[in-house]
Structure 1
Amino acid sequence: MPNEESTPRNVTSFECPLPLGSPKEIQIGHGGGGRLSQQLIDTLFIPAFSNPALKAAHDGAVIASPSGSLAFSTDSHVVRPIEFPGGNIGSLAIHGTANDLAMCGAKPRWMSAGFILEEGLPIAQLREIVASMRHAADEVGIQIVTGDTKVVERGKGDSIYINTAGIGEMQASKPIGPATVREGDAILLSGDIGRHGMAIMAHREGLEFETTIESDSAHLWPAVEALIEAQLDLHCLRDLTRGGLAAAMHEISTASGHEFLLDEASISVDEAVLGACELLGLDALHVANEGRFAVILPGAEAEKALAILKAHAPGGNSASIIGTVGPNDRGTVLLKSLIGVERILDRPSGEQLPRIC
């Protein structure tokens, strides 16, 4: 009788059979964190800038220095609207880059801020954005040490764009990234998903629900620091931004070469977020977050890590173990649905929610 590992699964695929092709112009979907984004990275940016740090395919680059390893990351923020329930483009800019550093196992320390301002932006509004940046930076001890400002003509910049780059001091004792993922690892989720993307969409479209949906934008370093201090064998961390949980799982699965099996029943989605997704025809697994992350580590350490997430992560009361890492294959992500059927979790191809970060 064949063993469990050799028994073929009946997997249902809903993948679109039409190829994406090679667009001749930049499309909005190139910024969506899905297939078009990955195609642009694989065919243009990696060949142009190829080096070991970039090929690691992680949220930030770990750089050796005489005083110890550093992590370096950069991000640009073009969210619309620039103010939304739970934050604004300023706090989002700090959280986004700081969280990328945290996913490398680095404490965020220094940051640059580049502002592209549109003629006509009220100074009072810019002052509020800058104040929120300072508050978000102070929360985890980040210093904004350099910056730049440019102004474009009225109608050319959508009020304000912000670019941030950050440097962090490595606290993890060994590399954290897709290359260290192993069969038998557990996959954990730090909280409920979909809040940021749906907060932006609801506010943008003037949708009203019984409960206001607020962005989950928040710092992840305190939770990561607690995991490191517990001396857990962290294999990979990934924040769930553009493309949501689905895109993050595909990125890690592809980079590691391992099959992932997720359990939909273990993935927490707030009722208001779920209702908004159903109303707009969206899948919460593909919706962006700004204060949630995935943890991959040996299965034997899953319960200890879960307790730490519940105590320290934003939204940690909804933290859960959502899946396992399977054998080495071509990098497939499977989802066990609420009715127990396994299917391939497709990677988002384009931009579900434009301008959310």
Structure 2
Amino acid sequence: MMPARNDGQTMNHAALEQNPSEPLRTAWSNQWLERMRDQRISMAHGSGGKAMRELIEHLFVEAFRNPLLAALEDQAVVPLDDLRRQGGRLAFTTDSYVVNPLFFPGGSIGDLAVHGTINDLAMSGAKPLFLSCGMILEEGLQIDLLRQVVQRMGEAASHAGVSIVTGDTKVVERGAADKLFINTAGIGIIPHGVWIAATRARPGDAILINGPIGDHGIAILTARNELALECPVESDTRPLHDLVQAMLDVCPDIHCLRDATRGGLATVLNEFAQASAAAIHLNESAIPVRESVRGACEILGLDPLYLANEGKLVAVVPQAHAEATLEAMNRHPAGQDSAIIGEVTETPAGAVVMRNAFGGLRVVDLLIGDQLPRIC
């Protein structure tokens, strides 16, 4: 569990959006409350004038504080020599976050935006370094609710060792958005000798995953009051770059790596199979799924293979390195429940098939449509 999501209090995350008058009380937030005059976002906060300057300086700069951001230029300027010393290739990614609700069991749109962008970089083997943050705010949004989201972003970035170095703020009319949307971009450096790509799966390779699937999807359903569970499920949102580094330490030749977000495990494996013109054979009994998630899926008619995750990666590694990689993953906090769940074969090329507990085979195809909208 990331500290950014552990405030030492029992909190109803759904109520947090409805009653932002109960903020996370910290020394920083108290100082911030004294400085801000407005209680809600207005069109003036996107106009480029005093209100916007106040929002940027007293909210974003305070939460994301670092030397590159403090310059408050229209761009972050990074010395190239520093980057060259860390590796030979640059990884660059971007993503947008529209999850509903903004706060959910185990996380929020803020730490999700940071973790998701870090993980997209990490799946290339890159060390994440810098993030940007673009905010689309709806007129009327409570500023204290925005503060809580931004605070979680800052904490998530700090704990992951990355810096949010530039950004942008836009305000749209009431009703033109749903509270707030976040766009992030990220830059990282890929070390020399690391080459990970979806095209590199080879017959004989092992398929690994770092823990139970479907947690994030069920957590979002719970937060939307669409599901009541005796054993609540928390989102698995977390950064995975340190886990990837632990894997690379024992297996520098990881063939494929991807985080199983929208579309879940099934989508990632189909992407690998099609890109590599290989087949993937899964063992259903080896795929970790929490009983609470499995029960929820049975009730709702969902398939955990297609549920979104925000802290799960799928790796394809040479069979000779599979056990060592698994042991390294199991030793890491983000991979304690890792498992080998299948292997790559030659046929049927481009397909994913799964053997169930009774020995039968099932084709695991790409999902048509969306099981759960606005999941991230």
Assess same fold via TM > 0.5: yes
Runs of 4+ with deviation above 3 angstroms: 63-67
Q: Say yes or no: does 1:341 pair with 2:348.
A: no
Which of 317, 321, 331 is residue 301 of structure 1 equivalent to? Answer: 321
| Residue of structure 1 in register with 2:57 after alignment | none
Distance 2:338 2:364 in 1: 21
| Residue of structure 1 in register with 2:108 after alignment | 88
SS in 2 for 1:339: coil
SS in 2 for 1:98: helix
The size of the alignment, in residue pairs, is 294
SS in 1 for 2:375: coil
**Does the Cα contact within 8 Å between 2:87 and 2:191 map onto a contact in 1?**
no
Asked which structure has the greater CA Rg, the reply is: 2
**Does the Cα contact within 8 Å between 1:220 and 1:313 map onto a contact in 2?**
no
SS in 2 for 1:253: helix
Q: Say yes or no: does 1:353 pair with 2:372.
A: yes
Unaligned runs of 5+ in 1: 1-62
Q: Which has the bigger relative contact order, CA under 8 A and spacing at least 6?
A: 1
Which of 171, 176, 182 is residue 191 of structure 2 equivalent to? Answer: 171
**Does the Cα contact within 8 Å between 1:190 and 1:313 map onto a contact in 2?**
no
Distance 2:358 2:368 in 1: 26
Which of 110, 117, 120 is residue 97 of structure 1 equivalent to? Answer: 117
List per-residue Cα deviations over 1:107-132 (Å, max 9, x = no partner). Answer: 11001010001111111111111111
Name the amino acid aligned to 1:106: A
* Cα 1:323/1:231, change in 2 over 3 Å: closer
* Cα 1:179/1:207, change in 2 over 3 Å: closer
Q: CA RMSD in A?
A: 1.7
Distance 2:241 2:162 in 1: 11
What pairs with 1:164-313 in structure 2 (closer than 5 Å)? Answer: 164-171=184-191, 173-313=193-333
Unaligned runs of 5+ in 2: 1-82
Distance 1:163 1:110 in 2: 14
Identity of counterpart residues, as a percentage? 50
C-alpha displacement at 1:66, in angstroms? Answer: 11
**Does the Cα contact within 8 Å between 1:106 and 1:172 map onto a contact in 2?**
no
Name the amino acid aligned to 2:157: A
Range 89-98 or range 67-76, more displaced:
67-76
**Does the Cα contact within 8 Å between 1:178 and 1:236 map onto a contact in 2?**
yes
TM-score normalized with structure 1 length: 0.79
Name the amino acid aligned to 1:338: A
Distance 2:197 2:189 in 1: 16
SS in 2 for 1:165: strand
TM-score normalized with structure 2 length: 0.76
List per-residue Cα deviations over 1:70-117 (Å, max 9, x = no partner). Answer: 111111101001110001000000011100000000011001010001
